[in-house]
Structure 1
Amino acid sequence: MRTRTFLTAAVLAGAALFGVAGTAVADSPSPSPSGSAGAAGPTEAGTSFRTATPVKPGQKATAGASTGDYLYWVVPVDAGQRATMKAKVTLPEAARHGAATWQLDVYDGLRRRQACTYGAQTRAAAADAGSVELSCTLRTVRSWAEPWSNDPLPGGYYVRLTVTGLPQDDLGLPVRAAFEPVVTGAGGARAVDGKLAAPLVPGAAKLEPDGGWSSGRWHDRWVWTAVGGLLAALAGIAGYAVTRGAGRPSRVPPGA
């Protein structure tokens, strides 16, 4: 009877713990796009790393340029987030002499080129195409990494848009570029122990996200780790109680 009572209490305690964990996860940021998608942003772009134009996640930046120019923007991306950089180039209506290849490159705060997990980072536009669209989805940003690794870290991410190949006669033709960074949260499953002393943010740009940098804050992974440990302890105690009760001789009434 005592064993049954104990097992019932253990099950109820486990259910209560799962309820607490579920609440904690529900209270954590959901993996939805940051900011207001398509919100008006800057109307110009920088021409180098040092003059890169800051853009917040969810903003849509635009810029007029000439074919052959380098266009630079810089976006804040925090730990546990995954960024997708999107760009669209509206090509000139004037007759062009051939296809043009456009490319979108992303660099972190240390100016290390970051690989795209998916997306069309390079695309060729035919001579009669009206526009070309590119995108690059980065790996989830980590709060900390070994010095030798190339893991993406919290801070500013530079985005460079340019044409990499076209007929010489088409250089200098006017184009219109639109850039939009979309940032989503990956959750505690992507969290790692440790954090940077400070995000990798270029000194000239004010890039702190809304609400500040969250590196090293509470992750829902910690909740589930604690819940798992407590449930394991309860299971161990329950198992001990069951085996201890099974090993006892049953009490025989006197005079039987």
Structure 2
Amino acid sequence: MTRGSRTTRGFRRSQVSRAAGLFTGSLLAGVLLLGTAGSALADESPTPSAGASDDSDGAEAPTEAGTSFRTATAFRPDQRATADASTGDYLYWVLPVDAGQRATVTAKVSLPESAAARKGAATWQVDVYDGLRRRQPCVHGAQTRALAADAREVELRCTLRTVRAWAEPWSDDPLPGSYYVRLTVVNAQEEDLGLPVRTEIEASVADEGGAAAVDGRLAVPLTPGRTTVSQSDSDNDSGDSSGAGSSDGARLAASGVEPEDGWSSGRWTDRWLWTVAGGVLGALAGIAGYTLARPARR
């Protein structure tokens, strides 16, 4: 074997070793970058405060419901809102849902002992509307259920589609803002109307992350304005019987309903971090491949 061939082979071996070291360093750098990004996202996530824990326990949750969209009672996710009403009332609540979140609304209707002697079954239904008062379909759960004549409790559930930060004007995609929850009986015997019931409403939101992120955002979330309306106006607005709202002569409509950490529509998402990390790893892999494929200099 000549001296030149040994030199060439040794040069190639050193080149391969250097490329392997470069590729290993690229992988370590990518892992470190992803770990740093993940820890940064974890640090940015809101930590529950003492007030938030009280809200989740229901200590500060509302104990009444509105009778129309304009008088809807505001509550936050993970709160359990309650209201005493009568069979046939239209009950309204409102909560904030941000971009990238998927909300699940759970409603529970309970009848007291005095309402056990009902004439027949009753069908209850929960509907969810967005800030434009468009009824949003439920992708999971039973939003309509019948309460048998001998039953005293029924539970409803509605899981919405993931809220988008922006959508085409012609689409019905859910947008960030206020979401109204309406609970009522849709089929009951006339003799059973007016019987007392106790209702519970709870909502949970799951963050879908960067997979649900889209380009573009709303300039302003779809939230209601602050207006004072009388009880008679609220009855005319909904066309429903009253009896589940406040006993005051006037009510203040829900206003300023927003997440505790503010609206995040249009902010940076983890999709950008993964894109940058993938670009860096791709560039380093290209450099390593070029180093391996580069012909030896003679």
The reply to whether TM is greater than 0.5 is yes
1:78 to 2:78 alignment: no
- Please report the TM-score for the alignment, with normalisation by the length of structure 2: 0.78
- Using the alignment, how far apart are the partners of 2:185 and 2:48 within structure 1? 29
Q: Residue 256 of structure 2 is aligned with which of 206, 214, 217?
A: 206
Q: How far 1:19 sits from its partner (Å)?
A: 2.0
Q: For 1:152-191, list aligned pairs within 5 A.
A: 152-191=174-213
Alignment of 1:68-107 (within 5 A): 68-93=88-113, 94=115, 95-107=117-129
Per-residue Cα deviation, 1:208-233 (whole angstroms, up to 9, x for no partner) = 21111111112111111111111112
* Cα displacement string for residues 158-184 of structure 1 (whole angstroms, at most 9, x for unaligned residues): 000000001111011111111111112
Unaligned residue ranges in structure 1 (runs of 5+):
252-256
Aligned to 1:51: 71
* Distance apart, 1:33 and its partner CA: 11
Matched residues in 2 for 1:33 and 1:134: separation? 28
Q: 2:58 aligns with which of 21, 39, 49?
A: 39
Give the secondary structure class of the aligned counterpart of 1:28.
helix
**Equivalent residue letter for 1:160:** R
- The answer (yes or no) to whether the contact 1:33–1:183 under 8 Å persists in 2 is no
Displacement of 1:152 in angstroms is 1.0
In structure 2, do the counterparts of structure 1 residues 39 and 16 end up closer, same or farther at CA, with 3 Å as the change threshold? farther
Identity of counterpart residues, as a percentage?
64
Q: Write out the 4+ residue segments of structure 1 that deviate beyond 6 Å after TM superposition.
A: none
Q: Structure 2 unaligned segments of length 5 or more: list them.
A: 1-13, 227-254
Structure 1 residues 102 and 50 mapped into 2: Cα distance closer, same or farther (>3 Å)? same
What code does the residue aligned with 2:21 have? T
Question: Which structure dedicates a bigger proportion of its chain to helix?
Answer: 2
Measure the CA separation in 2 of the matches of 1:139 and 1:113.
12
| CA pair 33-97 structure 1, distance change in 2 beyond 3 A | farther
Q: How does 1:123-162 map to 2 (within 5 A)?
A: 123-162=145-184
Q: Does residue 237 of structure 1 match 2:287?
A: yes
Aligned residue among 16, 31, 48 for 1:18: 31
In 1, the alpha carbon distance for the partners of 2:70 and 2:48 equals: 27
C-alpha RMSD over aligned residues: 2.1
Q: Quote the offset at 1:27 in angstroms.
A: 3.5
2: CA distance, partners of 1:185 / 1:13: 31
Number of residue pairs aligned between Structure 1 and Structure 2: 248
